[in-house]
Structure 1
Amino acid sequence: MTPKKLTSIRILVVGDRDYKYIFEDAAGIPATSVSNDFISLTAKTELGREGDKGKNKYPVLWLQKPLEGIGGREWFNRLKDFSPNALILFVDPSTDLSFYQAAMQENYIRILESLDLDEKKADKKAKKLKILFLFVLDNVTDSMKSKDYLVELHKLRLIYSEKFPLAAFREVMMNIDKPEHSEVVDLLEMVRQVFEDEF
C-alpha cells in the first residue's frame, strides 16, 4: 500500500500559547522546519521515507488562545478557508482546568460552524467528516492534575465522537516545555499513521 502524501493532511494547532517552538527545535535536534503555513519534516527525522525526498509538508494553521484575542468571525473565516482534518490540541495542566473545558467546547463549536452556519447542515456534514483529534498533555506537571485533565478529555472525547462518528482520537503525554526529539517524531508519526491506516 502506497503511503499517503502528507500534503493531504491539514493540521490545526491550538493551545494557550505559541507552540511553534515544539516543532522548531526539540532537544537541540531540529525535527522540522516551521513557517506560518507549513511544518516540513526534515531528513533528520525517522519519517523521511523512500520517495519522499527527505521532506514532506503539513499545511498548518496556528491558533493561539482560542477564547482570547480571536473573535468568533475570525475563527469562522480561518477555519472555513483552511478546512483542517487534523487537530493537535495542547493541554497544559498548569493552566486552570475550567479554561480548557471552555476552550475545548469552543473548538468543537467553531469546527461545526466552519462546516456550515446552519446547525442541521453542519451536523450532517460532521457525520461524514474524517478528522483526527490529537490531545497532547504535558507529562511533567502534578500527576493528580494530569489525571483530572485526562478525565475531562475523556468526557470531551465522548461529546466529539457523537458529532464526529468517523473521527479518530489520540491522547499523548510529552514534555511540552522541553520536548525530546523522539517525542516530536512520534507525535508526527502518529498523525501520519492515522491517515495511512484509518483514513
Structure 2
Amino acid sequence: MTTDTPPEQAPDGTAQPATRTWRRLALSFGIAAVVLVALLVVALLRPWADSESTAAPASPSATPSATPSATPTAVSTATAAAPDAPSGGDAPPPPAPGLAITSFAASDTAVTCANDSDAVAITFTWDSTDVTAAWFGVDTPNAKAGGLQQVDPSGSFTWNFYCSNAATVYTVTVEDAAGQLVHQSVTVSRQYRG
C-alpha cells in the first residue's frame, strides 16, 4: 500500500513536528558553528593585526640613534630625551623655544640596602619651563603614557625604591600647550651593606 502524502505529513494529513524540529535544530547548530569558527579566527588574528598596525614605519627618523664613538665618553645617570610630537605626526617637530626640564634629580642614586625586602624612600625634584602639565613615572621612558601620576610642572615627589630591584628608572615627562613632550630620567641603583 502506497500513499501520496509527502514525507513531512502523517497519513491523516497532519504535519510531523519532530522531523521539522530536528531539521531546524540541525540548521541552527550549523549556523552557530560557522559563526563560532569565524569569531575564533578573528580573535586569533586580532593580536597580530594590532602589532602590525602600530609598528613604526621603516623610514629614517629625525632623532639620533645610539652608535658607538671612537672616543670614550662619560655616562650620566640622568638623561633627557628629545621632545615627542603630538599624536599623529611622523617626526617630532623641533622643541618649542622654552619647553624644557631644566633639572631633575634624586635625593640618592645609590641606595644602600640591608636585604631585598627593604624599601627606601627617595625624593625626586625637578624644574621645568613653558610647561602646562607634568607626569612622574617608574620604569617607563614616557611618564605621560605609562606614568604613576600627574605632578606639578616644577616640584618634588617621594616614591620608594624597592631593594629587590638592582636598579629602577624614574622619569618626569612634561608637556607644553602645543602637546609636545620632553622626558628626563634618573636611575637609582641598589648597593648592599658590606
TM range (shorter): under 0.3
Which structure shows the bigger proportion of residues in helix conformation? 1
Which structure shows the bigger proportion of residues in strand conformation? 2
TM-score by length of 1: 0.20
TM-score by length of 2: 0.21
- Structure number, greater radius of gyration: 2
